[in-house]
Amino acid sequence: MIEHILGYPLWLQLWIAWMGLVNFGAIVFLRRVQARWALAAFASAALFMELLFRLNGFNRLLGLAHVVFWTPLVVYLLRERPLLEPGSAFTKWITVLLATNSLSLVVDYCDVVRYVMGNRG
């Protein structure tokens, strides 16, 4: 799958790297349950994406991995956010994680819908 990603424009490669960095940033906050859920969702999405790739190739359906695992994570973190300490490094990371994953989900939902509608590119 990495060969396909390396064929993307640089800005898209940087976005994918950013998503990985932000999500893997959970490791810094492993004492917090929210970070453990974030890391579990990230790892689960990565494994599911790899499975989808092996079964179906490189296409829009890969976004389903984020839809399945990041949607519940984003909902959970939005519900937890008011309980977090304002201004803390952890809260700032959660905010960046929410923004990053939410933006990705917009694209992923569009890709999955397009795939289901017959645009399999």
What predicted TM-score, i.e. pTM, was given to this entire model?
Answer: 0.90
pLDDT digits (tens, 9 = 90+) for 48-91: 999 999 999 888 999 999 999 999 999 999 999 888 899 999 99
Please give the helix or strand (H or E) that residue 112 lies within, else none.
Answer: helix 89-116
CB contact at 8 A, 73 and 37: yes
pLDDT in tens, 14-42: 999 999 999 999 999 999 999 999 999 99
List b or e across 58-92, with b for residues whose CB sees 16 or more CB atoms inside 10 angstroms.
Answer: ebbbbbbbbbbbbbebbeebeeeeeebeeeeebee
